Amino acid sequence: MAYKITLIPGDGIGPEITEATRRVLDATGVNFQWDLAYVGSSAQDRWGTPIPDSVFDSIRGNKVALKGPVTTPVGSGFRSVNVALRKGLGLYACLRPCKTYSGAPSLYKNVNIIIIRENTEDLYSGIEFERGTPEAAKLMELVSQTTGETIRQDSGISIKVISEMCSRRIVKFAFEYARAHQRKKVTAVHKANIMKFSDGLFLSVAREVAEEYPDIGFEDRIADNMNMQLVRKPQQFDIVVAPNLYGDLLSDLCAGLIGGLGLAPGANLSDDIAIFEPVHGSAPKYAGLNKVNPMAMMLSGVMMLRYLGEEKGADRLETAIAEVIAGGRNVTYDLEPEVAVGTSQVADAVIEKLGVTNT
């Protein structure tokens, strides 16, 4: 029986890397029925909304989606499609593995970190007050009355929300993941020293949850120190759990440690729905050039195969990708500028490797 998967090509470089990924996934021999769905500016132009209800329906029905990146207009225009999908579908956990592959231009060897990012709240909750609006003035008045603090009238305000329930849920997810994948340690990242009621809550809940998992190590790091330590000695970290904003920043930093965004896959998960997508964005300047690395999305496909229980197909695809990286000849400019091939040629090379392991 074929797995029915919602396939969202996205925009910018999205359609090219999605097509490359679809081809390699089909070449694993696992059967897929791709249910195409469109979001972002093309959907906005056509249907007057960046996420038509039919996209939510498709993902809710199929339970699994594979998604290319989507451009978010900066400063104005529609809000992030990515944030809306994660919030709308309750995809509370963002899972981003960062692993070194032999032959990748990584700064370090033997990095194997899983970033687990809370996906629904923090400064990404979307509760914002535009400078100069009556709503912003009302909030400023309330703040002044309740705290005695004055906020400058020319301020825009974004609310940082950290709840006990969401903190507990994501930290538990991190420990359960550690147990299920034989991981040894969870590191919680925060700025509880400064934001005592939001990050402070996250940290105290993390400490409580850690006590329920005596078989897994636990430590915490203040976010700025964490950045420095990741750059100095990334091998000391195993699973990292963080509120939304720090998790977002740390996952790009970790991608930089292992050879760049072209090798960083991800998943957004609830208890019964999953969207797999690369960490990187739509890189509009490279759109349509058959230039960028499709491996972050292919590795997201590997994560999807494991989620579906297709371990053998996942191992074969990951091995094929690793062999293409190690070969160093059929890779894109970010991995090997001297010999760089295009996006679709990388897919051809991975499919060829899959063919070899098939026989």
Identify which of residues 239 and 261 has a Cβ nearer to ligand NAD in the complex: 261
- Nearest approach in angstroms of CB 55 to ligand NAD is 14
Q: Is 322 in the site for ligand NAD (CB under 6 A)?
A: no
Structure tokens at 29: 């021999």
Per CB under 6 A, the segment of 18-26, 51-59, 288-296, 348-356 that binds ligand NAD is 288-296
Tell me the number of residues near ligand NAD by CB under 6 A. 16
- Nearest approach in angstroms of CB 86 to ligand NAD is 9
Identify which of residues 79 and 329 has a Cβ nearer to ligand NAD in the complex: 79
Has 138 been annotated as catalytic?
no
SS3 string of the chain? CCEEEEEECCCCCHHHHHHHHHHHHHHCCCCEEEEECCCCHHHHHHHCCCCCHHHHHHHHHHCEEEECCCCCCCCCCCCCHHHHHHHHCCCCEEEEEEECCCCCCCCCCCCEEEEEEECCCECCCCCEECCCCHHHHHHHHHHHHHHCCCCCCCCCEECCECCHHHHHHHHHHHHHHHHHCCCCEEEEEECCCCCCCCHHHHHHHHHHHHHCCCCCEEEEEEHHHHHHHHHHCHHHCCEEEECHHHHHHHHHHHHHHCCCHHHCCCEEECCCCEEECCCCCCCHHHCCCCCCCCHHHHHHHHHHHHHCCCHHHHHHHHHHHHHHHHHCCCCCCCCCCCCCCCHHHHHHHHHHHHHHHHC
Has 224 been annotated as catalytic?
yes
Among 88, 105, 281, 328, binds ligand NAD (CB under 6 A): 281
Has 124 been annotated as catalytic?
yes
Kindly name the residue from 191, 291, 334, 353 that is annotated as catalytic.
Answer: 191
Give me the residue label for tokens 């996942």: 314
Contact mark string toward ligand NAD, 44..83, x via CB under 6 A: -------------------------xxxx---------x-
Among 277, 318, 323, 336, binds ligand NAD (CB under 6 A): 277
Kindly name the residue from 224, 233, 271, 285 that is annotated as catalytic.
Answer: 224
Report the b/e string of 211-227 with b at 16+ CB within 10 A. Answer: eebeebebebbebeebb
Has 191 been annotated as catalytic?
yes
Identify which of residues 66 and 210 has a Cβ nearer to ligand NAD in the complex: 66
Position with the least CB separation from ligand NAD: 281
Q: Does residue 274 contact residue 307 with C-beta atoms inside 8 Å?
A: yes
Among 267, 334, 342, 346, binds ligand NAD (CB under 6 A): 334
Per CB under 6 A, the segment of 58-66, 149-157, 206-214, 274-282 that binds ligand NAD is 274-282
Q: Is 262 in the site for ligand NAD (CB under 6 A)?
A: yes
Per CB under 6 A, the segment of 102-110, 139-147, 176-184, 275-283 that binds ligand NAD is 275-283
Q: Is 316 in the site for ligand NAD (CB under 6 A)?
A: no
Q: Is 21 in the site for ligand NAD (CB under 6 A)?
A: no
- Nearest approach in angstroms of CB 330 to ligand NAD is 14
Q: Is 11 in the site for ligand NAD (CB under 6 A)?
A: no
Bridge partners of 67, per DSSP, are: 8
Q: Is 292 in the site for ligand NAD (CB under 6 A)?
A: yes
Which residues are tagged catalytic? 124, 191, 224, 248
Q: What is the binding site for ligand NAD (CB under 6 A)?
A: 69-72, 82, 261-262, 277, 280-283, 292-293, 296, 334
